[in-house]
Amino acid sequence: MSSLLSVASDWLYQLNPTLSATPPRADNDGELCFMGPDGTRDGAILCKDLLYSHATCVGSWLLPPEHHIVEGIVVTAVSLLILARTVPKLSQMTEPSMIHIQHPPGARLASLFCFSMMMYYKYSGYPSRVYYVTMPCNMQWALSFIQCFVLPQKWKRAQYTLLQLRLTYIMSVIIAIVTPETDDCILPGEFAFYWFNHILLLILPAAYVANGSVSCLPQVSRSNAKTSSNVSTWTFNRLWWQFSCAVFSLFYFIPVTLLAIYSGLNLNFMLHPPHDHFALKGKWFRLVATTMLATLFLVSRAIVLGLEKTFRKGRLEAKKKQ
């Protein structure tokens, strides 16, 4: 087993031996951002020789390859177990005949515009910046684009699942607004676009809730079939929360981590935590971050549930006045 781990660790390290053992600080002119091709100082690149916006995003081998592999295996096993237990229940709870997805006015245009602008800015930046499309908020636009232009409308379960994911991940948008990372917004109009697209990412899911396309409340079956009409609101939201957290963990601990190592970019802070973060420290920072995000995703669903109940109460009062 140890020899297998050693082989896998060597392979992972060879994906990018130029990463430094410690997180580089872009504001230090003498700091090494990348080691040489063989992992030594021969041919190393100083942070001052890169664009500042690039230097601030450079990753590291703060976590050794062995740690990445072991942690990735554990997270994958737990996530797959959660999915195996959750997906059948969600499938049973979701009755396709009761799903009616309607894109709010302007949703398709907004998705096309924001997804296109996001891709334009990523392709127009420093080398490898395009990999930042994997950041949570950018992935929200990818999900929106897929929902509006890729998935057929008749694929009701898939459409509904994407909307439930977007509802759960709303807190990632709020985090981006409260603690903005705008150091690399240097292209014309990019800073303004950052704020514009994040505000839209809050409005669009709320619009889908308002028009009844998606809900944090269980479906009320019109048949005698065993559906979510027998499920409590708490259970309904807990299952969608578990599903969303498992999908999020699988995506970021496996493909995004591999992409971060390969590209040399600290994508979603999967290689090292933000400098001087109050809570994310030490070699287990990713598990701490995952726990914190899972808690915030539960808050997301509570916020949307409260918003949905407000919408329904408002519509009910409006009907009474008519």
Same domain (yes/no): 21, 86: no
Three-class secondary structure of residue 133 per DSSP: helix
In a domain? residue 284: yes
Same domain (yes/no): 148, 206: yes
Here the tokens at position 34 are 């990348």
Range with the poorest average pLDDT among 46-55, 193-202, 218-227: 218-227
What average pLDDT does this structure show over 62-88? 97
What pLDDT, on a 0 to 100 scale, did the predictor assign at position 278?
81
Q: Where are the alpha helices (H) located in the chain, listed in sequence order? A: 2-14, 52-55, 65-93, 107-124, 136-145, 156-168, 170-178, 190-210, 233-253, 255-263, 285-321
What pLDDT, on a 0 to 100 scale, did the predictor assign at position 318?
75
135-171 confidence digits (pLDDT tens): 999 999 999 999 999 999 889 999 999 999 999 999 9
Contacts of 314 (CB under 8 A, 6+ apart): none
Domain containing 11 equals 2-55
Range with the poorest average pLDDT among 9-23, 56-70, 108-122, 224-238: 224-238
What pLDDT, on a 0 to 100 scale, did the predictor assign at position 185?
87
Same domain (yes/no): 212, 301: yes
CA-to-CA distance for 40 and 214, rounded, in angstroms? Answer: 53
One-letter amino acid of 45: I
In a domain? residue 70: yes
H or E segment to which residue 254 belongs: none
Same domain (yes/no): 169, 127: yes
- The residues facing 45 across adjacent strands are 34
- Is residue 221 predicted with pLDDT exceeding 60? no
One-letter amino acid of 183: D
Query: Domains in the chain: how many in total?
Result: 2
Same domain (yes/no): 226, 282: yes
In a domain? residue 75: yes
Quick count: other Cβ atoms within 10 Å of Cβ 203?
12
Indicate the residue among 55, 80, 99 that finishes a domain. Answer: 55
User: Rounded to two decimals, what is the model's pTM?
Assistant: 0.92
**Across the chain, which distance is largest between two alpha carbons, in Å?**
78
More confident residue, 186 or 110: 110
Q: Tell me the pLDDT of the chain averaged across its residues.
A: 91
Same domain (yes/no): 21, 117: no
Indicate the residue among 55, 74, 99 that finishes a domain. Answer: 55
Same domain (yes/no): 22, 102: no
Contact 218, 93 (CB under 8 A): yes
In a domain? residue 60: no
